[in-house]
Amino acid sequence: MSKTQIKLTVNGKAVETLVEPRTLLIHLLREGLSLTGPHIGCETSHCGACTVDLNGRSVKSCTVFAVQADGGEIVTVEGMANADGSLSPLQEGFMQEHGLQCGFCTPGMIMRAHRLLQENPDPSDEEIRWGLSGNLCRCTGYQNIVKAVKYAAKKINAREAAE
């Protein structure tokens, strides 16, 4: 099958690669770029394990063709740590509040929560539940995920108020 050249920015790095028209973004990320943080749960747009940020929006990368992301800016969970390598407030929140058990859903949860906090820096419990409703978790019962997002919101807002 013929391939198309695409250019992307992934976690701040310029990437130029050849993809087949049928290649899904999740497969490009995991198999082409060795970014295995985004997970494949359902491949039918239900579970959210493959969620990444594309041009400032949350997308389920199992339902985006790689060619559709041409020219775009992508952030995966691998791009979430602070510049010095320390955990971001969301990553820290998931750890401190026990927002994960098996961890399979966690990269997608963190990426969706990241966008949610950009859209709504101080969400209520209900807004967090609604904002993460496209991401499924089989282990936690969600309560600690909500606490993790609130932890991150508090930390980000305190840091911004101090600046």
User: By C-alpha distance, which of 135, 117, 126 is closest to 56?
Assistant: 117
CB of residue 50 vs ligand FES: minimum separation in angstroms? Answer: 4
Q: Binding marks (x or -) toward ligand FES, 120..149, rule CB under 6 A?
A: -----------------xxxx---------
By CB under 6 A, name the one of 6, 10, 25, 50 that touches ligand FES. 50
Q: Binding marks (x or -) toward ligand FES, 67..106, rule CB under 6 A?
A: ---------------------------------xxxxxx-
Count residues near ligand FES (CB under 6 A).
Answer: 22
DSSP letter for each residue of 116-163 = HHHH-SS--HHHHHHHTTTS--SSS-SHHHHHHHHHHHHHHHHHHHH-
How far apart CA 21 and CA 65 sit, in angstroms, is 7
CB of residue 61 vs ligand FES: minimum separation in angstroms? Answer: 7
Pick 65 or 104: Cβ nearer ligand FES: 104
How far apart CA 93 and CA 132 sit, in angstroms, is 15
Task: Reduce the DSSP state of residue 48 to 3 states and report it.
Answer: coil
By CB under 6 A, name the one of 6, 19, 54, 60 that touches ligand FES. 60
How far apart CA 4 and CA 19 sit, in angstroms, is 5
- Is 41 near ligand FES (CB under 6 A)? yes
CB of residue 4 vs ligand FES: minimum separation in angstroms? Answer: 22
What residue type is 106 in one-letter code? T
By CB under 6 A, name the one of 4, 9, 15, 40 that touches ligand FES. 40
- Is 150 near ligand FES (CB under 6 A)? no
How far apart CA 61 and CA 131 sit, in angstroms, is 18
Ramachandran sector of residue 45 (left: φ over 0; alpha: ψ -120 to 50; beta: rest): left
In the complex, which residues of this chain contact ligand FES (CB under 6 A)? 40-43, 45-50, 60, 62, 100-105, 137-140
